[in-house]
Structure formats: C-alpha cells, structure tokens
Amino acid sequence: MPFPSWDLFPISEYASNFHFTGATSEDRTMSVLTSRGCVNQCSFCQRIESGLRVRSIDNVFDELEVLNKQYGINYFMFEDEMFVPHMQRLKSFSDSLHRLEGDIKYWCSARVDLAKDREVLKLLKESGCQLLSFGLESLDQNVLDLMRKNTQVEDNYRAVENTLRAGIHPGLNFIWGNLGDSLESLDKIVHFLINYDSLGQLRTVRPVTPYPGSLLYSQAISQGKLEGPGDFFKRFTNSDRITVNFLDIPEVEAYNALLEANSVLVRNYYQKKGNPESSQPVIDAFRRLYFPTCPEDLKFRGVRHYEKPLKQ
C-alpha cells in the first residue's frame, strides 16, 4: 500500500499539536503504525483477526524518512499494540535509525515479558525510546488469569522496575472492574501507580469495557448482563464510565471508589509537579462524569492532554 499523501495534510498542525513524554517545544511529532495485532488474546480486547502482522523494517523506514526529511518529524509515537515482538526486530529497527536526521525520539508499547531482558531495555534507551507502555491491567493474579493475560503479578513489578532503571518512562495502564476485581484490587493499583510514578504521564484508572467481539462481551451476554450489540451501544457513552458492572458491589459504590482512587492519583501527580491547584478541576470533571447531571458532563475524555509546551 502507498504511504499517505502527506502533502495534502496541514503537517505543521499535526507536527506541533501533540506533546509526548520526553518531548521539548522544538520536537516535531507524528504517530506511525508498523504492525497490526498482538500475540495474546486478552478477554477484554476486541480484534477482527488473531495473530500479529508486521511491516518490513525497510518499508517502515521508507515512511519515516519521508516524515523526517521532508517534514522535520523527529519524535514518533508508534501506535502498534505490540511494537517490539522480539529482539531481532528491535535490532533491525535500531540499526536503521542512521537513515534519519536529528535527535530521534519515540514512544512504543510492549508486553511486560520483554522488559525482563535488560539488554532489550538498554537498546530501547540508546535508540531514543522515551516511554515504554505496558498493559499491566491488574495486580491481582486471579484477575489476570480470568482475563487470560498470560502474565504474573511479579512480571508487572519487574518490568516497571527494570524500565525505570534503564532511564525510560514506563506507561502504566490498568483497568478495573473485571471479573474477580474488588475494592482491594483497586487499592493495590492506586498504591502501585503512586509508588512507580515517574511523572512521565498522569495515570488514572479506567473501568473495563466489554466491546462487542471480545470474550468479555460474550461473557456479559452469557451472564445476562448484556442483551446484544444494540444494548451495548445504547449503554456505552464514554470509556471512563462503567458500561457493564461485573463487580459484586452496586454501580454507585464502584463509581465512588473510582472517584476516590483517581482523586488520590490526580492530587499526587500535580503535587509532585509543583502545581497542586491544577488537581481540583480534573477531579471535578471526574465527579461530573461519574455522576452526570447533563449531557455535557459525559464529554470528558480523560486526563492526559498533549498540549505543546511554550518555548522558554
């Protein structure tokens, strides 16, 4: 397939509109996709096909060269679900970076298994990786098993600690409200996020969503919690809201728990950043989202706004 006709896009707007972790006001940013799919089959994940399909490294760099040399892009956000499937592809990627100009930076995702290997992390750091995003999802082994994550709780701890030692920001992604979850499992997530907060991102906790096509959706149907796709789309309004309650507590109690948890995380982040006054508007937005009084309250789309920093 040919690359997008970038000359038809307002590239200056795209390149300056996002502020990724580790970026400066001089960096020009763009997202790129180098593969589709993932090797795992988590219960909450919806996909049309199984497996992983990757573009060749040469094909990827042909596109990166266009963006880099014609439009000055030097920071790439790789949108792949699994950017680093194995060491050999990472080496090929690293070896090809000489084709690009300037101080190259990037952000990517990987399973926690990868971060067991410190050589992989060393290569990621040396090649310009600013943030390595992990789908940690839970710190309760029963929950991880029920969602078919194929990871161990200790893997999550080891991956994040190794990533921090390598000098890379870890992206800490958790979802709560899965089968087997409880108030105690939410509390573990909050403590983990505070303990390993590198200030690379403001991280909060979202409820799990059983998207049609996922195993979790089928489980919701079999348990009588959903009637079908029409029922799902009638209920679904925002990925920060509970579409189906899989917990053993009332929905209002779950929302109160999420509000308390995310309030703690937001206050902790802005306190460490030195501007605690910024926390209250975010907390108020969460409160309105969880307990809306008008349609406008449902428009909140999370806390991580990529605003370009002002030049010093």
Mean pLDDT of the chain: 92
Burial profile 38-55: b = 16 or more Cβ within 10 angstroms, e = fewer = bebebbbbeeeeeeeebb
Are residues 243 and 232 in contact, defined by beta-carbon separation less than 8 angstroms? yes
Percent of the chain clearing pLDDT 90 (strictly above): 82
Are residues 56 and 76 in contact, defined by beta-carbon separation less than 8 angstroms? no
How far apart CA 116 and CA 42 sit, in angstroms, is: 20
**Average pLDDT over every residue of 35-51:** 86
Length of the chain: 312
Chain segment 8-32, per-residue pLDDT in tens: 999 988 898 877 899 998 999 999 9
Chain segment 231-277, per-residue pLDDT in tens: 999 999 999 999 999 999 999 999 999 999 999 999 999 999 999 99
DSSP the chain: -PPP-GGGS-HHHHHHS---TT--TT--EEEE--EEEES---TT---SS-EEEE--HHHHHHHHHIIIIIH---EEEE--SSS-SSHHHHHHHHHTGGGS-S--EEEEE--GGGGG-HHHHHHHHHTTEEEEEEEEE-S-HHHHHHTT----HHHHHHHHHHHHHTT-EEEEEEEE--TT--HHHHHHHHHHHHHT--SSS----EE----TTSHHHHHHHHTTS---HHHHHHH---TTS-SS--SSS-HHHHHHHHHHHHHHHHHHHHHHHT-GGGHHHHHHHHHHHHS-SSGGGGG---S---PPPPP-
- Pairing type for strands 169-176 and 129-137 reads parallel
**Average pLDDT over every residue of 59-75:** 96
Report pLDDT for 304. 62
Chain segment 113-152, per-residue pLDDT in tens: 989 889 999 999 999 999 999 999 999 999 999 999 999 9
Architecture of domain 1-189: Alpha-Beta Barrel (3.20)
Strand partners, 78: 32
Report pLDDT for 268. 96
pLDDT of 308 over the 60 cut: no
- Please, how many CA atoms are within 13 Å of residue 178, restricted to the half-sphere of its CB? 27
pLDDT of 312 over the 50 cut: no
- Pairing type for strands 129-137 and 35-38 reads unpaired
**Angle at Cα 64 formed by Cα 62 and Cα 70, nearest 5°?**
95
pLDDT of 208 over the 50 cut: yes
Are residues 11 and 71 in contact, defined by beta-carbon separation less than 8 angstroms? yes
Report pLDDT for 161. 97
Q: Domain map of the chain by residue range? A: 1-189
How far apart CA 190 and CA 264 sit, in angstroms, is: 8
How far apart CA 171 and CA 158 sit, in angstroms, is: 14
Q: Which residue has the tokens 């059983």?
A: 210
Q: Is the model more confident about 302 or about 67?
A: 67
How far apart CA 303 and CA 288 sit, in angstroms, is: 14
